[in-house]
């Protein structure tokens, strides 16, 4: 436990990703519980500034709300809304796969969020179960159907679709298994986020990680295992994870 100069009392560590460590904290002035992401400022200064610039612009019910950021002792701290049920990856590990109806409820929220991001001329580029946070869980009264309310986070790899580059961004990033094949050819645009949403749907309905298709892998490429799924879920996943990005299903709007 420590107190930061900006008046936050730091609590438990709640997460660690490839770049940052995330803590639960309380803002003393207001008693509000928040999440604080701590990043080493000098490691990837441009990436951190891009993350904050992207987050600052976002105002959507399915995107984690940014509050403020500040520097202290060589670290950058990003303060945001706290989601008490943690990330979707841990949820699926604990509870197994979701039903089609449960997964559809989550997917429609993520589609709303990603369409909003694309309208802001940004790509997320790291859509994965670890970057989807659960803010509310409601259980049905007379069935065991679970409704998850989710918020997208981690704009560390979000990139502006710059005019003149046809929306292409040329550097390989993202979480293996969730990354679209054309990303490895260093030529991709917002359809890559659709592939990742398909990989998310695959993860939600099977409870498994999507196959890692990185070209650097030595083992033979793993295939999607759709056998346990309904025909509707399998069909949608195949259309979202279509390797040819020109034939991939698109987001509306
Ligand atoms: N606002 C939040 N509320 C609750 N848990 C969070 C929040 N932000 C992040 N986490 C937890 O911390 C993990 C890492 O955060 P993330 O922003 O994805 O960092 P990284 O860039 O290192 O991947 C998440 O997968 C999640 O478990
Ligand atoms: Mg992350």
* Cα-based angle 239, 243, 246 (whole degrees, multiple of 5): 75
Q: Say what the pLDDT of residue 138 is.
A: 96
Q: Which of 8, 10, 12, 14 to mutate to test the pocket of ligand 1 (most atoms within 8 A of CB)?
A: 14
* Protein residue whose Cα sits closest to atom 25 of ligand 1: 130
Give the number of the ligand closest to the Cα of residue 21.
1
Query: Does the beta carbon of 182 lie inside 6 Å of ligand 1?
Result: no
Each residue's pLDDT, cut to its tens digit, for the chain (253 residues) gives 566 767 999 999 999 988 889 999 999 999 999 999 999 988 888 889 989 999 999 999 999 999 999 999 999 999 999 999 999 999 999 999 999 999 999 999 999 999 999 999 899 999 999 999 999 999 987 778 999 999 999 998 887 775 545 555 656 678 889 988 877 766 567 899 999 999 999 999 999 999 988 888 777 667 899 999 999 999 999 999 999 999 999 998 6
Q: How far is CA 18 from CA 39, 130, 163, in A?
A: 10, 11, 29
Q: For the chain, what are the domain ranges?
A: 2-81, 88-240
Topology (CATH) of 2-81: Phosphorylase Kinase; domain 1 (3.30.200)
Q: Say what the pLDDT of residue 43 is.
A: 86
**Cα distance between residue 132 and residue 134, in whole Å:** 7
**Cα distance between residue 129 and residue 122, in whole Å:** 20
Contact 194, 239 (CB under 8 A): no
225 an active-site residue?
no
The ligand 1 atom at the shortest distance from the C-alpha of residue 130 is 25
The ligand 1 atom at the shortest distance from the C-alpha of residue 21 is 22
Ligand 2 centroid, distance to 36 Cα (angstroms): 13
Topology (CATH) of 88-240: Transferase(Phosphotransferase); domain 1 (1.10.510)
Looking at the DSSP bridge assignments, the partners of residue 26 are: 9, 33
Q: Identify the active-site residue in 87, 126, 154, 193.
A: 126
Tell me 5's DSSP state. T
* Helices (H) then strands (E): counts for the chain: 5, 9
Q: Say what the pLDDT of residue 167 is.
A: 52
**Cα distance between residue 205 and residue 88, in whole Å:** 12
Ligand 1 centroid, distance to 55 Cα (angstroms): 14
Q: Say what the pLDDT of residue 164 is.
A: 47
**Cα distance between residue 241 and residue 217, in whole Å:** 19
The answer to whether 38 is annotated as binding is yes
**Tokens 């259980």 appear where?**
139
Query: Does the beta carbon of 175 lie inside 6 Å of ligand 1?
Result: no
């Amino acid at each position: 436990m420590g107190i930061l100069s900006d008046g936050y009392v730091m609590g438990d560590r709640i997460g660690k990703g490839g770049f940052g460590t995330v803590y639960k904290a309380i803002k003393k002035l207001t008693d509000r519980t928040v999440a604080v992401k701590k990043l080493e400022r000098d490691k990837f200064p441009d990436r951190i500034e891009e993350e904050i610039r992207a987050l600052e612009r976002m105002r959507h019910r399915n995107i984690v709300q940014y509050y403020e950021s500040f520097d202290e002792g060589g670290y950058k701290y990003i303060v945001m809304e706290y989601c008490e049920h943690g990330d979707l990856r841990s949820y699926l590990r604990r509870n197994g796969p979701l039903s089609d109806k449960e997964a559809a409820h989550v997917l429609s929220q993520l589609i709303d969020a990603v369409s909003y991001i694309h309208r802001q001329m940004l790509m997320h580029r790291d859509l994965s179960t670890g970057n989807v946070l659960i803010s509310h869980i409601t259980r049905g009264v007379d069935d065991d159907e679970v409704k998850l309310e989710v918020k997208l986070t981690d704009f560390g790899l979000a990139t502006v679709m710059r005019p003149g580059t046809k929306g292409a961004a040329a550097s390989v990033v993202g979480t293996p298994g969730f990354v679209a094949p054309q990303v490895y050819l260093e030529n991709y645009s917002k359809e890559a986020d659709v592939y990742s949403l398909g990989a998310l749907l695959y993860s939600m309905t099977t409870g498994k990680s999507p196959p890692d298709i990185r070209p650097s892998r030595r083992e033979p490429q793993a295939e999607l295992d759709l056998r346990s799924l309904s025909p509707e879920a399998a069909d949608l996943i195949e259309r979202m994870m279509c390797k040819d990005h020109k034939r991939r299903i698109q987001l509306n709007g």
